């Protein structure tokens, strides 16, 4: 743990406390902190340095972007509880929280507008890491007679495939246009009775009870702002012994995917995925990769079992 004096020095400024409360709410870039807190960029950068050194915040590099989140000190539950209570007492805490939420809404709006715009053309495009090879790998075990969910279903390629043999498929997506297309395809394929469609932002999903034998996240996790939160939500929706199947991208450096595919994360490191599964009460049974449909991009295949 950092020297106690370094910690107190790093906390001895209201601006730093506001930054800390904000990155506790969500992982944010310097530009997003500037926008939410209405501080000059130089001030935000100057505050972040001692906070990083004290272990109050951590930085995650994603391609050319850097995002800040809670530091290692928050692993101490007692410290985190005391500090979180104090952070809520900041005079502008509610205003800052609302501003951070607006920043996150802008991220979601950009992603939603992207998928609304390509609805109907998605199948003719080639997303990095997409393709039936990855889907087939995730489906190898078979889910006949089970109740499954497809989170971030897009135009429904996976959901419709699952609906051919699963007892019931619940498909989630933030784009109503995408879901309308899925509904039309399900009707044409006589699959409507087995398929339920729900509009939802993945980071905000709440399952009141475990209802699924399996949940799929196929090329969807890198479009979310908080993938660990999505994995935790998925775990809560799984029955004991149920499986979370993740098909995504191994970490890469292709910045163009942010613009062309509205990606928020440049893939994932298998080590961090393993940690997130553990935090969510999931035991990884498969963590593997295979070449994707785009050069220099590999597909990440993960299966976690609910304990």
Q: CA-CA distance, 115 to 136, in Å (whole number)?
A: 23
Mean pLDDT of 240-269: 92
Q: How confident is the model at residue 91 (pLDDT cuts 50, 70, 90)?
A: confident
- 182-199 residue pLDDT tens: 999 999 999 999 999 999
pLDDT digits (tens, 9 = 90+) for 140-161: 347 888 999 999 999 998 898 8
Domains and CATH numbers, the chain: 4-110 (1.10.10.10), 122-306 (3.40.50.150)
Q: What pairs with residue 247 in β-bridges?
A: 218, 301
DSSP states of 214-247: EEEEES-GGGSS-HHHHHHHHHHHEEEEEEEEEE
Q: Is the pTM of this model over 0.75?
A: no
**CA 171 – CA 181 distance, rounded (Å):** 12
């Amino acid at each position: 743990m950092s020297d106690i004096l370094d910690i107190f020095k790093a906390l001895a400024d209201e601006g730093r406390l506001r930054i800390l409360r904000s990155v506790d709410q969500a992982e944010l870039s310097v530009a997003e902190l500037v926008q939410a807190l209405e501080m000059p960029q130089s001030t935000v950068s100057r505050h972040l340095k001692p906070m990083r050194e004290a272990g109050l915040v951590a930085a995650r590099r994603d391609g050319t972007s850097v995002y800040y989140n809670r530091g290692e000190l928050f692993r101490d539950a007692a410290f985190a509880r005391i500090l979180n209570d104090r952070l809520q007492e900041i005079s502008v805490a509610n205003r800052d929280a609302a501003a951070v939420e607006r920043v996150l809404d802008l991220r979601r709006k950009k992603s939603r507008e992207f998928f609304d715009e390509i609805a109907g053309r998605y199948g003719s495009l080639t997303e990095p890491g997409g393709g039936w090879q990855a889907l087939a790998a995730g489906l190898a075990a078979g889910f006949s007679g089970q109740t499954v969910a497809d989170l971030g279903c897009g135009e429904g390629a996976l959901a419709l495939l699952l609906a051919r043999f699963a007892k019931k498929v619940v498909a989630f997506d933030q784009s109503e246009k995408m879901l309308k297309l899925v509904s039309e395809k399900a009707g044409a394929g006589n699959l409507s009775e087995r398929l339920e469609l729900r509009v939802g932002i993945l980071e905000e999903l709440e399952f009141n009870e475990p209802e699924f034998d399996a949940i799929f996240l196929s090329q969807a996790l890198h479009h979310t702002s908080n993938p660990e939160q999505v994995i935790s939500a998925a775990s809560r929706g799984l029955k004991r012994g149920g499986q979370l199947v993740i098909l995504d991208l191994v970490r890469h450096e292709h910045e163009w995917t942010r613009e062309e595919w509205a990606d928020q994360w440049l893939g994932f490191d298998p080590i961090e995925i393993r940690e997130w599964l553990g935090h969510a009460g999931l035991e990884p049974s498969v963590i593997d990769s295979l070449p994707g449909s785009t050069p220099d991009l590999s597909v990440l295949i993960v299966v976690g079992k609910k304990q």
